[in-house]
Amino acid sequence: MTTLLRNIGELVTNDPRWGDRFGILHDAALEWSEGVVTWVGSDSDAQSRVSNATEVLDAEGRAVIPGFVDSHTHIAFAGERSLEFAARMAGTAYSAGGINTTDAATRAATDDELRELIGGRISEMRAQGTTTVEVKTGYGLTIEHEVRLARIAREFTDHVTFLGAHVVPEEYVGRTDDYVDLVCGEMLDAVDSFVTAIDVFCEDGAFSVDQSRRILEAGVKRGLRTHIHAAQLGSSTSVQMAVESGVASIDHGTFVTDVDVHALCKSGAVLTLLPGSDFSTRQPYPDARRFIDAGVTVALATNCNPGSSYTTSMAFCIAIAVREMGMTPSEALWSATKGGSISLGSPLLGNFEVGSLAHIVELDAPNHIHLAYRPGVNLVRTVWG
3-class SS at 121? helix
Site for ligand NIG in 85-104 (CB under 6 A): 98-99, 102
Report residue 362: phi and psi, to 5°: -100, 130
For residues 183 and 215, the answer to whether their CB atoms sit within 8 Å is yes
How far apart are the C-alpha atoms of 373 and 371, rounded to whole Å? 6
Between 128 and 305, CB nearer to ligand NIG:
305
HSE-CB of 165 using CA atoms within 13 angstroms: 37
Between 23 and 275, CB nearer to ligand NIG:
275
For residues 44 and 97, the answer to whether their CB atoms sit within 8 Å is no
Our finding on whether 343 is near ligand NIG (CB under 6 A) is: no
Selected from 6, 49, 62, 74, the binder of ligand NIG by CB under 6 A is 74
Our finding on whether 276 is near ligand NIG (CB under 6 A) is: no
Q: Between the CA of residue 312 and those of 75, 106, 128, 189, 301, what are the distances in Å?
A: 9, 19, 8, 31, 9
Between 71 and 303, CB nearer to ligand NIG:
303
> Could you count the other beta carbons within 10 Å of the beta carbon of residue 33?
16
State the nearest-atom distance from the C-beta of 236 to ligand NIG, in Å: 14
Between 106 and 356, CB nearer to ligand NIG:
106
* DSSP assignment string, 328-345: -HHHHHHIIIIIHHHHHT
State the nearest-atom distance from the C-beta of 186 to ligand NIG, in Å: 23
Selected from 22, 39, 201, 291, the binder of ligand NIG by CB under 6 A is 201
Q: Is the dihedral of CA 114, 120, 121, 125 positive or negative?
A: positive
Site for ligand NIG in 138-197 (CB under 6 A): none
Instruction: For the chain, give the longest Cα–Cα distance.
Output: 69
How far apart are the C-alpha atoms of 146 and 163, rounded to whole Å? 8
Size, binding site for ligand NIG by CB under 6 A: 13
State the nearest-atom distance from the C-beta of 171 to ligand NIG, in Å: 18
Our finding on whether 229 is near ligand NIG (CB under 6 A) is: yes
Our finding on whether 232 is near ligand NIG (CB under 6 A) is: yes
Our finding on whether 308 is near ligand NIG (CB under 6 A) is: yes
State the nearest-atom distance from the C-beta of 73 to ligand NIG, in Å: 9
Our finding on whether 305 is near ligand NIG (CB under 6 A) is: yes
Interface ranges with ligand NIG (CB under 6 A): 74, 98-99, 102, 201, 229, 232, 277, 303, 305-308
